[in-house]
Each structure stands twice: as C-alpha cells, then as structure tokens.
Chains A and B, each alone.
Chain A
Amino acid sequence: MTTATASHDDHGHHGPAKGIMRWVLTTNHKDIGTLYLWFAFTMLLTGGVMALIVRTELFQPGMQLIEPEFYNQMTTMHGLIMVFGAIMPAFVGLANWMVPLMIGAPDMALPRMNNWSFWILPFAFGMLLFTLFTEAGAPNFGWTFYAPLSTTYAPSSVTYFIFGVHMMGISSIMGAINIIVTILNLRAPGMTLMKMPLFVWTWFITAYLLVAVMPVLAGVVTMMLMDIHFGTSFFDAAGGGDPVLFQHVFWFFGHPEVYIMILPAFGIVSQIIPTFARKPLFGYASMVYATSSIAFLSFIVWAHHMFTVGMPLQTELFFMYATMLIAIPTGVKVFNWVSTMFRGSMTFETPMLFALAFVVLFTIGGFSGLMLAIAPADFQYHDTYFVVAHFHYVLVPGALFGIIAGVYYWLPKWTGNYYNEKLGKFHFWMSFIGVNVTFFPMHFVGLAGMPRRIPDYALQFADFNAIATVGAFIFGFSQLIFLFILIKTIRGGEKATDQVWEGAEGLEWTIPSPAPYHTFAEAPHVK
C-alpha cells in the first residue's frame, strides 16, 4: 500500500523504501501480507483458467478441444495450484496482515524468515508451471499424485514437481513457525490466549497442523524421488514396496491439509458475523475447543479417502466412525454462528454476504462429506463427480469465500478506503450464482456414476455438464469484478473511519485507516 502515512516519522520510524526493492527486501508484515495476497490472487486466476479449460472440454460429450493427455495435466495443475498456490498463501497473507494487528504486536516475530518464506513461493510455482512448456508436459497424475502413476508411469517432469513441492513445503513450514512464535511471544500485555480473536486462534491451531504434516508431505515426495532416481522401492511391489503405502502416507498429510485450508476461514467468519450482527460471538470458548477437536480428529481419519483399496472391515468401521465424529465439533461451530446472528441487528454488507454464503454452502459440503464417510455408500461415490462436488463446495464457497469475505472486511483498514458496496454486492451475487450453478449439478452426475478425471463422458450426463460449464464461466469471470474492485479501492474511494464497521471490535480497529506502516511500536494494554 503505497499510501502509507508518514505521520509516524516523528517517532523515529521510517516509511517504506521506494521502488521494487521495497518488496524484495521487505521484512514488514503488512508488505509481506500484501505480497502473499497478490501472489495468491495471481495463482487463483492461473488455476482458474485451467479449470475453465477443463470445463470447456466437458461442455459436450466427446473429445473436441484438447488432447486427453493435456486434459490430465490441466486437472492436476489446477488442483495443485489452487491448493498450494491460491488458498494456502492467501491465508498466510491474511495472517501476516492481521495476526500482529489483532494481538497488538509490532510485527511478526521472525521478520527475515517471513521475507524468505514468501519469496520461495514464486520460484516453487515458476518451476511447477514451466513444466507445461517442456516436451514431457506437466504432471498429469492428479493432484494426489498416487504411486505408481507418479513414479513408474510419471512424465520426466515429475522431478520438477517434487522439488516444487519441497519448496512450497519449506515456505509453509516457515510461515507456520513464524505465526506460532508471534502468537506465543508477542501478544500485548493483557492479551491472554482466551482473549485472542478467533481468527488468531484458528490460525494458531492451523500452524501446528502445518508443522506436523507438511514434513510428512516432504517425506512422501522424497520417497518418490528415491524410487524414481535412486532405485529404492518404497512404492514398487516388484522391489518389495507397496503402492497402498503411498496412499496411507499421502493422506496422513492430506487429511489435516484439508483442515489447514478451512480452519482459518472458520476464524474469518467468526470475526465477520459478530461485527455485522452487532453481537459478541456466541460460545467463544466452545469455538476454541471445537477447532482444537477438529484439528486432533483430522489425524485419525485419513483412510476414509481409501475405503476402496481393500481394507478389512474393522479398519473401515473405525475410519467411518472417526470421520463422522468430526461432524460434532463442526456442528457446534455452525450452531454458534447461527446463534450469534439470532436476534442480532444484522446488516448485509459484502463481507457479511460472503460469510453467510460460507455458512450455508460450507454446510452443504459438510453434509455431502458425511455421506462420503459412510463406508458402504462410499463404494458407489468413490472417484465420481460427487466427490468433486463435495470438495469444491467446502473449498470454493468454503475456503475461498472465507478469504474473499476477509479481504472485503479488512480492505478499508488496509487501504484507508471503502470499496464500492454496489460493486461488491454485484461480485457476491455473480459468485454465489456461478458457484452453485457450477458445482450443484455435479452431485447429480456423480451419484449417477460419472467418474472424475476423465475428459469424456456418457451421453446422459450432457445436460448437467453443459450447465456446470456455464456456471464455471460466470464464476470465473466474476473474479475479474473482484480484481477491478480491489484496484479501484486501492486507488481511492470514500475514506474509511478507524473503526471501519459500526459493530467492529478488536485491536485492529483502534489503529488509523489505512494502517500505518508501523503499528503497535508500543504495546497496547488489553483490559
């Protein structure tokens, strides 16, 4: 934000440096947060273009636009970029911006590492994306990269993919460590753990999940690397390994990963709903405990992704019941959000609209998740579009709407300007309609048996697929409205007050708008 005020210069501070080197060398949490958010937005558009290529091919049955090999590369890259390039960095960006402001810290605890953890990312994704232009083509084995597809039968570009994942992992781990150290050490006097805003709490727990499972992901890709290049056979049965082992290790990472992508969104929504309902959050402590329970349970449910690999009955039952148990803390959260709104004096600004859509649509995704958790039923749903519908409901109107809601909510604090409310609402309704038109029909074609990751399909799925493609284009192009609103707001607009929102409470609303380059040089006292 180039509009940062100079009003703090008399305190002996300096403003941001000029030019490109400000961004390359910055150790300021606000600058790094901005970098993360723009990077995530770039990746969102990149992965979005890939999704639109996939949807265009699926507009009609038959092969018309692209080769099946390229289709596989598009689904794989879309998944990898959205998970590791868009959703996760966007959350880290929001944490960088908001965690220090919410706990009254002057900056992140490890600012140089902060710079490093961001600047690794463009190189990681540069490496991943450049494989598209190699002769072997990009990774084509799905974002879950199951062995032996990703080892014995992988394109030679898989090695770039592996190093790319290593780099993303290092970046995420460093980001997570930074957040934990900041929260544990830099809280303002009086800011006890149980007074922390829920966004800080959910990120605190998410960061522990990251430290616990990103190294396991690094381990599994290292095993792949060794199988491919060093003659080991972790996943090759011919040499005494076991391809099912890959799925166990991958999902030991993968299931906590899906909570890494949703817990911070829970936190954002828990900030926004009380503001616009003008009531304190209902059941603060139960929210903290529910989040912790979800995080704990995420470690003991991984095999529900693998019900069809041939596990014995007892194992299937264990993972089925453990998975269903997660519905309880999640239900507590939904209950608390609804209770917060109950008899509140609600207004429906854009962040609130996105947060409300989050509550409703994430719950739909949660329910289809419960259906998938039923082991005997999963044999029908496995690897169909029903699964695609499920995880897109929790990730797009779930995680992504959470991020967008957060951006609208804090944008006036970051830029000092209100966004255009009419345009924001237009963006919301286009996104809301687009996302449902895209993903709701996928439930139906999935239950009817349409397999995922296949570029062609049987004729009876044609109508629903055509509808989904239309929805995808509506959703995709409405994100350009978002881009327009962001640029417009950064450049100017109605001046924001310090509190920004009438019902907003918390330390971040006590500082001026736009937030000065340095804040809380002297720690505030929290009552």
Chain B
Amino acid sequence: MKSDSSKPDNQSGIKPKNTALKLVLAAVAMFGFGFALVPLYDVFCEITGINGKTAGPVERVEQWVDTSRTITVQFITTNNAGMPWEFEALQEEVEMHPGAWTQVEFWALNPTTEDMVGQAVPSVSPSEVAQYVQKTECFCFDQQKLKAGEGRKMPLIFSLDPELPAHVRKVTMSYTLFDAGAFAE
C-alpha cells in the first residue's frame, strides 16, 4: 500500500489502521480474559458449589440442630503422588445431626529424615453439599510443618447447615495431602 493508511482509501470509509488497532486491543483483552478465568472459575465454583470445594473458616454460631435426621459423614485421606507422610483419619465415619458442631481428628507423621511442609486440599462429595459444610477449624486451612520423624494429631471442627437438602444421607469428606515444600510460607 503506497497510500497513507491513516486516510480512508476505500469505499467503506473505515481507516485500516483503526481496525487493526481495535483488533490488537481485542487480542490483548482476550489475553487478560484468559487470566480472569482463574478467579471467575473459583467464584463460579463457590457460588454453585459444583467443584466440591469447601469455604474457608466461619464464625462458630450455635444454630438450630435438626435432630430429626442423622447424616453419616465419612472421611477419606489420600497422599498425592510422591508425598511420603503417613496421613489418616482417626475415625472412619461419624453420625451427626445437621447443625451440630462435631470435632474429628486426623493424624499425620513425617517418616523422612528431613523437615517437610504439607498442605491438605479438601473436597466434598456429593459436590452439592460443599456449600452446606461449615468449618471453624481445619488443618487444611494452613500448611502443616512437620520436623523429621514428627507426628501430629490435627483437628477438624465442622457442622452441616440444617438447610442441607433432605435427600442427602451420606457425605464424604476427602483430603488429599500434597508436598508443599515449594510453597512454604
């Protein structure tokens, strides 16, 4: 093109430079949108509870306890690949009423000869229950630092919202333990 591209040289009257600039901006915006998907994904999962992700600590409030039904809550622990710790729930399951506060214990032991940092990541099944799980204390809120050979009992205090849908009778809470050495705080 020999013509000055800032002047319209066509019947449409649009300036090519402007069109190009707009498209570059669109591309940059989409690059940003890619990153915006990260918080959007979390917000979406939190609102809908579809990822089985439970929320952070809540204030303990004494609430109405629905004694008319009993929910079985099971606990599962998993070590992520390469995580050498012993990690188990000290009770396989508990029976509880929605609204009642319950404390359970987990056990972790670092059998290696090095100090390590672990991070447990929670998940709830069925995933629709995630939004009804209230935790005031959970070892999964913080990184767990264990010296070589050290073991520790770790508490979890939680309740299930009495609004829990009536068809739910059994809830599985699963914790996966990761080596968080790279992310030590």
Residues of A within 8 A of B (CB): 106-107, 109-111, 173, 176-177, 180-181, 184-187, 189, 211-220, 223, 231, 233-234, 236-240, 242, 244-245, 248-249, 252-253, 310-312, 314-315
Contacts and interface: CB of A to CB of B under 8 A. Distances in A.
A107, A180, A218, A312 — which one has the most chain B CB atoms within 10 A of its CB? A312
B41 interface: yes
A319 B120 CA distance: 31
Interface in B8-38: 9-12, 14-16, 19-20, 23-24, 26-35, 37-38
Interface of B: 1, 5, 9-12, 14-16, 19-20, 23-24, 26-35, 37-38, 41, 50-52, 80, 119, 121, 127-128, 176, 178-180, 182-183
Contacts of B16: 109-110, 181, 184-186
Contacts of A109: 1, 5, 16, 20
B50 A219 contact: no
A219 B19 contact: no
Contact of A231 (B15, B20, B127, B183): B183
A218 B26 CA distance: 14
29 contacts: A107-B1, A109-B5, A109-B16, A109-B20, A110-B20, A173-B27, A184-B16, A184-B19, A185-B15, A185-B19, A187-B11, A189-B11, A211-B26, A211-B30, A213-B30, A214-B27, A215-B27, A215-B28, A218-B31, A219-B32, A223-B34, A223-B38, A238-B183, A239-B180, A240-B119, A242-B51, A245-B37, A249-B34, A312-B50
Nearest to A183: B19
A238 B179 CA distance: 7
Given A187-B10, A239-B183, A181 B20 contact: yes
A215 B1 CA distance: 28
Given A185-B19, A215-B34, A253-B34, 5 more contacts: A185-B9, A236-B178, A239-B119, A240-B119, A312-B127
B147 to A, nearest CB: 19
A106 B1 CA distance: 8
A181 B20 CA distance: 6
Contacts of B51: 242, 244
A248 B180 contact: no
Contacts of B37: 216, 219, 245, 248-249, 252
A176 B176 CA distance: 44
B145 to A, nearest CB: 14
B24 A216 contact: no
Contacts of B119: 238-240
| Dominant secondary structure at the A interface | helix
A213 B183 CA distance: 31
Contacts of A106: 1
B41 A186 contact: no
A480 B14 CA distance: 46
A211 B31 CA distance: 10
Contact of A216 (B33, B176, B183): B33
A237 B30 contact: no
A177 B10 contact: no
A233 B51 CA distance: 18
Contacts of A215: 27-31, 33-34
Given A245-B41, A312-B127, A212 B26 contact: yes
Contacts of A177: 20, 23-24, 27
B19 A233 contact: no
Contacts of B26: 211-212
Given A111-B1, A181-B23, A249-B37, A233 B183 contact: yes
B141 to A, nearest CB: 11
Given A109-B20, A239-B182, A312-B128, A219 B11 contact: no
B41 A231 contact: no
Contacts of B33: 215-216, 219
Given A187-B12, A238-B182, A219 B31 contact: yes
B183 A211 contact: no
Contacts of A185: 9-10, 12, 14-16, 19
A109 B17 CA distance: 9
Nearest to B34: A219
A185 B9 CA distance: 8
A116 to B, nearest CB: 13
A236 B121 CA distance: 11
Top 5 closest A-B pairs, CB basis?
A219-B34, A238-B178, A215-B31, A215-B30, A239-B183
A223 B35 contact: yes
B74 to A, nearest CB: 17
Contacts of B34: 215-220, 223, 249, 252-253
A82 to B, nearest CB: 24
Nearest to A106: B1
Nearest to B37: A249
Contacts of B50: 311-312, 314-315
A240 B32 CA distance: 21
B30 A216 contact: yes
A216 B19 CA distance: 21
